[in-house]
């Protein structure tokens, strides 16, 4: 098998330039990088990961930590991050914390501190000061996706504004009796997602001069089954039924759609439903939603992380990056019938 010296001779550059061009570490012009890659491909030269790690002190591996993997949002973020990392020549190691606090402590106190990853992406995890300090003390950069984390570059979604936008869409159609299916107290964990989106709903109602009724709120667990049970309680009442439902996630909104159907109601003629996420099933169900682009979030986190791993001394990047969101109107919302 050809060695680095043969690649250097064929490309007409030094072995140091070959190393920089193929590892992505250090300045190399695009033309030279392409010439080196072409020479390496022609000779069948493959960079040794062990040698590269020894030379650079890097593993070219990024740890991605998620609270759950079974949920569509988290798996979509991971897919986006993995695709972006592969394009940049990095591997991904996934740490799923669904095992609870003991597993979380083990990951942050042991696994991530070993020389297995160069950096960490934390998805929807409100890291403690100790967790952050442990990582930064051994020069492992962190990028968070979710709410702000002191001392950490973070990509944040304004969940209050997102919930307000979804509710204002229903109000703009003329709905005044709007119910809310939100996250229960036991699911109001990192960054208080459920309560923040409920506050966004209530702010939209308050600014429109509409009453906020406790009997038009149902907690659920961010799943389709949970939304179905909550939806039945709201649309199954014999009188004073809401004309619209804002659910704090698309999965819960889809559950509400199914509950309305099973109770003989037509959507949106009898009741309108809006969610948040733009879940992969949302288009199939015709669900109006506020898209938050989770795959793009993973890709953006990798871009920010590459800047942390290879810092530009002249860069003036903001410590917090606002994530995009967009109202997507489909067939589950309409004006209330007279």
Asked, for residue 327, whether it belongs to a domain, the answer is: no
* Same-domain status, 124 and 271: no
Q: In this predicted structure, what is the pLDDT of residue 18? A: 81
Domain region containing 307: 61-157+295-322
261, 133 contact by CB (below 8 A): no
Question: Per the structure, how many domains does the chain have?
Answer: 3
Mean pLDDT of 122-130: 91
Rounded to an integer, what distance in angstroms lies between the CA atom of residue 77 and that of residue 64? 10
* Same-domain status, 166 and 263: yes
* Same-domain status, 71 and 112: yes
Asked, for residue 337, whether it belongs to a domain, the answer is: no
pLDDT category at 56 given cuts 50, 70, 90 is: very low
* Same-domain status, 90 and 191: no
pLDDT at 132 over 80: yes
pLDDT at 54 over 50: no
* Same-domain status, 211 and 250: yes
In 3-state terms the chain splits into helix, strand, coil percentages (rounded to 5) of: 45, 15, 40
What percent of the chain clears pLDDT 70, i.e. is strictly above it?
A: 92
Average pLDDT, the chain: 89
DSSP class of 114: S
* Same-domain status, 113 and 180: no
* Same-domain status, 21 and 104: no
Q: In this predicted structure, what is the pLDDT of residue 70? A: 85
pLDDT category at 242 given cuts 50, 70, 90 is: very high
In this structure, what CATH number is given to the domain that contains residue 203? 3.40.50.2300
Return all residues near 171 (Cβ < 8 A) that are at least 6 apart.
178, 204, 205, 208, 210
Mean pLDDT of 128-139: 86
Mean pLDDT of 180-197: 86
Q: In this predicted structure, what is the pLDDT of residue 57? A: 54
**How is the beta sheet containing 320-322 ordered, strand by strand?**
91-96, 61-66, 119-123, 142-145, 153-156, 320-322
Asked, for residue 224, whether it belongs to a domain, the answer is: yes
In this structure, what CATH number is given to the domain that contains residue 42? 1.10.260.40
Output the CA torsion sign for 117, 120, 123, 125: positive
* Same-domain status, 176 and 286: yes
Rounded to an integer, what distance in angstroms lies between the CA atom of residue 170 and that of residue 201? 11
Asked, for residue 335, whether it belongs to a domain, the answer is: no
Q: In this predicted structure, what is the pLDDT of residue 51? A: 47
* Same-domain status, 51 and 115: no
Q: In this predicted structure, what is the pLDDT of residue 73? A: 93
pLDDT at 275 over 90: yes
* Same-domain status, 65 and 152: yes
Asked, for residue 333, whether it belongs to a domain, the answer is: no
For residues 207, 209, 210 and 213, what is the CA-based torsion angle, rounded to 10 degrees?
Answer: 80
Q: In this predicted structure, what is the pLDDT of residue 53? A: 47
Q: In this predicted structure, what is the pLDDT of residue 49? A: 47
Q: Which of 15-19, 83-87, 198-202, 326-330 has the lowest mean pLDDT?
A: 15-19
293-323 pLDDT, tens per residue? Answer: 999 999 999 999 999 888 777 666 678 899 9
Q: In this predicted structure, what is the pLDDT of residue 246? A: 98
Q: In this predicted structure, what is the pLDDT of residue 27? A: 74
pTM over 0.85: no
Give the DSSP letter string of 170-223: HHHTT--SEEEEEE-GGG--GGGHHHHHHHHHHHHHHHTT----GGGEEEE-SS
């Amino acid at each position: 098998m050809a060695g680095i010296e043969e690649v250097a001779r064929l490309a007409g550059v030094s072995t140091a330039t070959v190393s920089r061009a193929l590892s992505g570490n250090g300045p190399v012009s695009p033309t030279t990088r392409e010439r080196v890659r072409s020479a390496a491909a022609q000779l069948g030269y493959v960079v040794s990961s062990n040698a590269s790690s020894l030379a650079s002190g890097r593993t070219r591996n990024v740890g991605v930590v998620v609270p759950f993997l079974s949920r569509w949002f988290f798996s979509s973020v991971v897919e986006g991050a993995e695709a972006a990392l592969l394009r940049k020549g990095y591997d991904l190691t996934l740490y799923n914390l669904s095992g609870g606090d003991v597993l979380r402590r083990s990951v942050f106190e042991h696994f991530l501190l070993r020389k297995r990853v160069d950096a960490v992406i934390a998805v929807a995890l409100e890291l403690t000061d100790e967790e952050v300090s442990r990582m930064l003390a051994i020069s492992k950069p962190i990028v968070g996706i979710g709410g702000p984390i002191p001392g950490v570059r973070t990509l944040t979604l304004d969940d209050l504004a997102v919930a307000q936008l979804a509710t204002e869409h229903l109000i703009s159609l003329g709905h005044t009796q709007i119910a809310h299916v939100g996250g229960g107290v036991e699911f109001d964990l990192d960054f208080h997602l459920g309560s923040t989106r409920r506050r966004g709903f209530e702010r939209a109602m308050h600014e429109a001069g509409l009453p906020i009724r406790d009997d038009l709120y149902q907690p659920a667990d961010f799943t389709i089954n949970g939304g179905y049970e909550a939806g039945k309680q709201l649309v199954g009442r014999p009188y004073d039924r809401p004309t619209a439902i804002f659910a704090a996630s698309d999965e819960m909104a889809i559950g509400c759609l199914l509950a309305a159907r099973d109770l003989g109601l037509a959507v949106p003629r009898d009741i309108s439903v809006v969610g948040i996420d733009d879940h992969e099933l949302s288009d199939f169900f015709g669900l109006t939603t506020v898209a938050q682009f989770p795959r793009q979030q993973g890709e953006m986190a990798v871009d920010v992380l590459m800047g942390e791993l290879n810092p530009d001394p002249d860069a003036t990047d903001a410590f917090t990056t606002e994530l995009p969101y967009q109202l997507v109107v489909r067939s589950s919302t309409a004006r209330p019938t007279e």
